[in-house]
Amino acid sequence: MKPLNKVIINKDTSFNPIWIMRQAGRYLPEFREIRKNNPNFIDLCLNDTLSSEITLQPLKRFDFDAAIIFSDILMLPYGLGQKVEFEKKFGPKLGELNLNEISNIDEIDFVEKVHRVYKAIKKVSSNPDLNDKNIIGFVGAPWTLLVYMINQKSPKNNLKKDFFNDNFLINRILLIIEKFLKVHIKNQVDNGANIIQIFDSWSGLLEEKDLPNYVYTPTLSLVNFVKSLNIPVICFPREIKNYKEFCDIVQPDAVNIDYNVDPKKILKDIKIPVQGGLDPKILLTDYENLKKEANKYLEIFKDHPYIFNLGHGILPETNPEMVENLIKIVKDFK
């Protein structure tokens, strides 16, 4: 059984597998080399030769327990025909949203536009060196994708003033997102992904009264779909105020916590396996501090099924040596 499955399915507490969000990416010099020659980020995600190579880069360097495919949650709006580009020092920029156009996209058109993501997963999953590792596929949660598609850029801390004005538009788009996320998940699983993670990067923007409509209901539908494929599903509702309520309603197989939550409270409130929590900024400090902070999480969750990860993606300025140190700290923990 693969390492993450032992923890998620068997509730094994005898060890803590480790992988980190954005492990295939900007902190690695070998990634930066590829990126220099491939300035268009979407094209790079759709180059299955390079995206599979990037996925494997951290596994060649480090003893991670899982590979996560090099891709982006915005492949979904891209597959639906919305323009998506990434601007240096700004982040994602999306084009105008045309409801008529995206309502007329069918499954074949969508898969045709993003099928190279699946080809990359197939290449990675058929690599014999990864036989004892998990292959993680992922999607953005419906709410987070809705935010990007309507807001047309990262909201940071604010949505467009008229974001919630058109209820019909919002509900229609949510249904389309949900439908095609299932297509996207199924194709990732069919090509070798054996765990799916759902990233809800902007769930923290919502007031409590709006969570059922925008987070709980659509995410539950996806979670049930992934479970129907007999694949474990991890949810990351970043900066949500009430992780317990989220887990009780959405019922993922495991939950990734962000670095703003108290892990002791999580331990008390949550019965399912937990992943993550460490602040990525800790990797910018020194070895002693890294060891102290990593051991804090390992100690708190030592009798609870726990996958070591960060509470957000690894920062670009991280020294790869600190990642090496972190893995050793986690593997040596008794």
- For domain 3-332, the question of CATH label 3.20.20.210 is answered with yes
Q: Which residue has the higher pLDDT, 89 or 302?
A: 302
- pLDDT greater than 80 at residue 75: yes
- pLDDT greater than 90 at residue 156: no
State which H helix or E strand residue 274 sits in. Answer: strand 274-276
- pLDDT greater than 70 at residue 196: yes
- How confident is residue 158, by pLDDT bands cut at 50, 70 and 90? confident
Mean pLDDT of 149-177: 90
**pLDDT value for 83:** 96
What is the residue extent of each domain of the chain?
3-332
Half-sphere exposure of 217 (CA within 13 A, CB side): 9
Q: Whole-number mean pLDDT of the chain?
A: 96
Single pTM value for the model: 0.97
**pLDDT value for 120:** 98
- How confident is residue 160, by pLDDT bands cut at 50, 70 and 90? confident
Mean pLDDT of 289-301: 98
pLDDT digits (tens, 9 = 90+) for 2-37: 999 999 999 999 999 999 999 999 999 999 999 999
Phi, psi of 37 (to 5 degrees): -90, -5
pLDDT digits (tens, 9 = 90+) for 102-143: 999 999 999 999 999 999 999 999 999 999 999 999 999 999
**pLDDT value for 89:** 77
What per-residue string of b and e applies to 228-254 under the rule 16 or more CB within 10 Å gives b?
Answer: eeebbbbbbbbbbeebeebbebbbbbb
Out of 64-68, 90-94, 175-179, pick the least confident.
Answer: 90-94
State which H helix or E strand residue 319 sits in. Answer: none
Q: Tokens representing 32?
A: 């930066």
- How confident is residue 302, by pLDDT bands cut at 50, 70 and 90? very high
Phi-psi sector, 234: left (phi>0), alpha (psi -120 to 50), beta: beta
**pLDDT value for 177:** 98
